[in-house]
Structure 1
Amino acid sequence: MEKKIICIPGQRLCRLDPSYTLGKGTYKRQEYIFSSLAGIVNIDKRENISVIEVLSKDQTIVPAPGNIVTAMITTLNQDMCKCLITSVSGHELNETYRGSIRKQDVRTKEIDKIEMLQCFRPGDIILAKILPMTEAHTFKLTTAENELGVVIACSEYGHPMIPLSWTEMQCTKTGTVECRKVAKIVQENFKGSF
């Protein structure tokens, strides 16, 4: 009888080399394969390569580098903002995870001109990508791609906002315009509607 290996999210499974590749429930960090789920390690041998995957009944999902996540901005200062990650690739999480976006990870151009208050506000819902891990307790995020940024926002008066461009959103009640780093998908959904 084959012995089953049980793992937890974040557990290092093996070194990444040409004979191993990533499967479901895993992610790569540095030169190792890690588990993103709690479950049983399965090695699926195909031709000259073994696919390392984690099989889980309840599919407990944990954010991993490269994942697109939905998060809510909680606090910000001139150098960074903090947020709570609520879903990974469209799958709602059982618990939230802490994340942060540094000024240099907001966008790719004119980084020296970025003002965090012109990009995000507390309460904004954003799409972001998880960067490679550097700290154990906080996920570093980026919104530097066009598809990433604010997807839902309320004005300072508490009313929903709609995008005007990739840098501006407008209050639906007062017409007030506020600056944001708007996700491209949101702009496309509202194109031609105002």
Structure 2
Amino acid sequence: MSSESVIVTPGRRLGLTQEYESGPGTYVRNGMIYSSILGTKKIEQALAETSDDSIKRPMLFVERQNTKFAIPVIGSEILGRVVRINPRAASVAIMMVDSAPCQEDFQGIVRVQDIRATEKDLVQMINSFRPGDIIRAEVISLGDQRSYFLATTKNEHGVVFAQSEAGNSMIPISWEEMQDPKTQTIEKRKCAKPVT
């Protein structure tokens, strides 16, 4: 193995096909070897000569930097942005799973019955979330082909960041209200447990 350790991006020219064999994470075009993934450029020296007395060329490859991908599973805590709401559910773009950022776009749904643990029949979506809110929730089911089912029934789950209609950042003043500190306007939300 070579001691060379250079971070490369997709499309970066790595070497000539006359000097190296193309390995994993690379592709060849017009006699040049290019990186096909983000990672570290590596060179593996040939171990032995081939049977036809020609010397085998070293292999040039790219090793992925971080192979850990954040994928939601049942019981994971997510951080997501509310994209849209209707009277029965809120659509959420999942940004983080536990403490790892997502590499792909995952969608989640918080159904109206999964917002609060008690008085579920009194919950109204418009009084819980608004588009643009950042929420903390738990994955409760793998859902359908498009979305994970999420719940905010625990005290620590709910809206963690919201903007008022005036465009200012709001602060939670109770478990179901947030206030704009500039205009003093109060809006309804299902707040995550405020840190005291």
TM-score bracket, shorter-length normalisation: 0.5 to 0.7
TM-score (norm 1): 0.66
Query: How far apart in 1 are the matches of 2:121 and 2:66?
Result: 47
Query: How far apart in 2 are the matches of 1:163 and 1:61?
Result: 29
Alignment correspondent of 1:157: 166
Query: How far apart in 1 are the matches of 2:190 and 2:146?
Result: 26
Residues 1:127 and 2:136 aligned together: yes
Shift of 1:58: 1.5
TM-score (norm 2): 0.65
Which has the larger Rg? 2
Query: How far apart in 2 are the matches of 1:171 and 1:90?
Result: 28
| Residue 104 of structure 1, aligned match among 77, 88, 113 | 113
Query: How far apart in 1 are the matches of 2:87 and 2:70?
Result: 32
Q: 1:57 to 1:159 in 2, by over 3 A?
A: closer
Query: How far apart in 2 are the matches of 1:70 and 1:77?
Result: 20
| Residue 154 of structure 2, aligned match among 124, 145, 148 | 145
Question: Where does structure 1 differ by over 2 angstroms across 4 or more consecutive aligned residues?
Answer: none
Residues 1:118 and 2:127 aligned together: yes
Query: How far apart in 1 are the matches of 2:131 and 2:109?
Result: 13
Structure 2 portions without partners, runs of 5+: 1-64
Matches within 5 A, 1:29-178: 58-178=67-187
Q: Deviations over 1:69-93 (max 9, x none)?
A: 0000010011111010000002111
Secondary structure, aligned partner of 1:131? strand
Shift of 1:60: 1.3
| Percent of residue pairs identical | 37
Q: What is the aligned-residue RMSD (CA, Å)?
A: 1.3
Query: How far apart in 2 are the matches of 1:113 and 1:61?
Result: 35
Query: How far apart in 2 are the matches of 1:175 and 1:96?
Result: 36
Query: How far apart in 2 are the matches of 1:90 and 1:58?
Result: 16
